[in-house]
Structure 1
């Protein structure tokens, strides 16, 4: 019997072997891409209808209702960086404990953490607002990053723990035999082996953080701290209904969409791997 690889038996591979099904699949993908691109193309066309490409330079160098788009991009990236650092750090420690340490109640704690996946953002709005106020973190990137981390951590622990389960325990035991403690094993053995899953998680965290509108709108009242997601609504009233300013508003919308699009395109491979990481065990 000839050996076949797992990828040769994938549904996509089998569809490619049947021309009729392949045509249907690619036609469906083309229609979906066209539906997704139509609003983007329409927005770009509107943005250059009056004033041309100079509209983009104008909105980048002008403050609207106290909001500067370049600063808004920087605010979003700063919050995303904090979210990624905290989420990956805490989730990696939790994954190591749940996957490689044996302690009473381990599985109970793990499943309790997974139950938090069912908690929606709106359910913690009041506690988040109260805690943020008591900590004095209003109008602070940290104040926005912390609730984002809280909501992301259950998924992050699930992702990294599933991946860590595939790391051979023999490597951990060999390090222990050589006299390494848990701290050294975590830094020099566990983290390097989990690097693919950590990159996947980081890409997902950046996308989710940049697109978050709820917590920045609730916790950031200073126009100078406005994020890119907030700016779409904040700058709307600053444009008059003239043809030129309407085109400039569409130019602003295009620029605000750029970070999320770039992140998704650049990190698409990592995001796809992240969703399936740990899904197959040898």
Structure 2
């Protein structure tokens, strides 16, 4: 029998370390899953599975759970569209177009990675009022996109740097301008990074509570993240209604969980391919 080589040999040599790593991962998974398992058990304690049908078909404090999912997905889609569109243009520009002060502007953009959402809350509130965007989906998507764009520029410029300049030079020799190069060369090659960025943007938007709570006051526009708090007073203290509230919490967590499970492959692929250089 041949002797294992490469990663397999190292794995066998460090089997004890591997066991420890798996034990730590299992413990971590249990700790992360414990709140969800507790919520599911509590949702079935009184009333059983019927609690889920009750909260799906009912309205609590003027909020309908299916409507919150629709609102969240609309905002998340707008957020991802803005971030991917503007981020890809900026990433291509900073990587493939030479202009005075390019690096200074690029690092100036990256500084905004350190700006927290609460730091721009007052300006966002004022600008939203000036643009008459209160109680609109785009009014929430725009500030979310503003916070995500520095990361998008970083990710897509790094990805664009991995695309050989020879492709751009060859296209230029054939008479293609930057607009055509961007559409026909950069965007197809950057698809893994864009899918990765889009999935992350949707996931972050679904988790956002601050901007929807600041900009959306109409119960019909409540997002899933807001609904966790908004619908709480709509349930009484009885055991059955408490179980129904836990059922609502479980349902509100479903979109983000589904996105993570279905999008993890794309996120991992985008990060891996984005780290490869020619």
The alignment's TM-score, normalised by the length of structure 1, stands at 0.93
Distance 2:193 2:234 in 1: 43
Aligned twin of 2:263: 267
Partner residue of 1:279 out of 257, 268, 275: 275
The alignment status of 1:200 with 2:196, answered yes or no, reads: yes
CA 26–253 in structure 1, closer or farther in 2 if over 3 Å, else same: same
The equivalences for 1:62-101 within 5 A come to 62-101=58-97
Q: Which runs of 4+ in 1 moved over 2 A?
A: 12-17, 269-282
Cα displacement (A) at 1:279: 3.4
Tell me the secondary structure at the aligned position of residue 52 of structure 1: coil
Aligned twin of 2:159: 163
Which segments of 5 or more consecutive residues in structure 2 lack a partner in the other structure? none
Aligned twin of 2:44: 48
Which segments of 5 or more consecutive residues in structure 1 lack a partner in the other structure? none
Aligned twin of 1:187: 183
Q: 1:159·1:277 contact (CA, 8 Å) conserved in 2?
A: no
**How far does the alpha carbon of each residue in 1:170-208 deviate from its partner, in whole angstroms, 9 at most, with x for none?**
111111111111111111111000000000000100100
Q: 2:163·2:277 contact (CA, 8 Å) conserved in 1?
A: no
Distance 1:216 1:239 in 2: 22
The alignment status of 1:224 with 2:220, answered yes or no, reads: yes
The alignment status of 1:36 with 2:32, answered yes or no, reads: yes
Aligned twin of 1:137: 133
Aligned twin of 2:123: 127
Distance 2:11 2:208 in 1: 37
Partner residue of 2:99 out of 98, 103, 111: 103
Q: Is the deviation greater in 137-146 or in 35-44?
A: 35-44
The alignment's TM-score, normalised by the length of structure 2, stands at 0.95
Distance 2:50 2:184 in 1: 51
Cα displacement (A) at 1:27: 0.6
Distance 2:271 2:120 in 1: 25
